[in-house]
Amino acid sequence: MEMHQNITFRDSLIHGTGGFATRDIAAGSQVVEYVGRKIGKQESLRQCELENPYIFTLDDEFDLDGNVDWNPARLLNHSCAPNCEAQEEAGRIWIVALRDIRAGEELTFNYNYDLTDYREHPCRCGAANCVGYILAEEFFPELQERG
Ligand SMILES: C[S@@+](CC[C@H](N)C(=O)[O-])C[C@H]1O[C@@H](n2cnc3c(N)ncnc32)[C@H](O)[C@@H]1O
Ligand SMILES: [Zn+2]
């Protein structure tokens, strides 16, 4: 059975394909699980060198390679003003609504990239506060200082 009735996937103005809410979603709801292959840091590094954009940090020992067709959450785009965030719960990653979301809105989360090579990841999220690069919110002030 299709387990993602609250999301549909179609062309996004941000990039390529994105995930969109098919119905209103309440703040705090688990929208979709971010699933994938559980991999060690060495394999994770290898995947990052191969520019696999679907690597997700799980903990100090393991990462998740979400580059599998059974992970629909891989299609969610990044935004500087996201309506969802990734949360870890009991060793699983969930995409959780940060606020009430209306049917039809694109579902986004912050990819939480660090400042390494940030210029290689321009952001086209379209948010009023877009900082221009795909970057974790904690680095926004540093980027703004750099001008
Ligand atoms: C995990 S995929 C997301 C799904 C993607 N839209 C697709 O069609 O495959 C991640 C890639 O999507 C693109 N992307 C996601 N959010 C973006 C954003 N806010 N601005 C520009 N590109 C974005 C980047 O190329 C990134 O490497
Ligand atoms: Zn942005």
CB atoms inside a 10 Å sphere around CB 2:
6
Is the distance from the beta carbon of residue 135 to the nearest atom of ligand 1 less than 6 Å?
no
33-44 pLDDT, tens per residue?
A: 999 999 999 999
2 Cβ contact partners less than 8 Å away, ≥ 6 residues apart: none
Is the distance from the beta carbon of residue 9 to the nearest atom of ligand 1 less than 6 Å?
no
75-102 pLDDT, tens per residue?
A: 999 999 999 999 988 888 999 999 999 9
Measured in Å, residue 54 CA sits from the centre of ligand 2 at: 18
Q: Determine the distance from the C-alpha atom of residue 83 to the mean position of all C-alpha atoms in its chain, rounded to a whole number.
A: 11
Per-residue pLDDT band for 2 (boundaries 50, 70, 90) equals very low
Give the pLDDT score at 107.
98
- The burial of 53, by beta-carbon neighbours within 10 Å (0-12 exposed, 13-18 middle, 19 or more buried), is given as middle
Average pLDDT score over residue span 22-39: 96
Measured in Å, residue 130 CA sits from the centre of ligand 2 at: 4
Superfamily of the domain at 7-35+71-112: SET domain (2.170.270.10)
CB atoms inside a 10 Å sphere around CB 30:
15
Average pLDDT score over residue span 62-66: 92
Per-residue pLDDT band for 55 (boundaries 50, 70, 90) equals confident
For the chain, the domains span 7-35+71-112
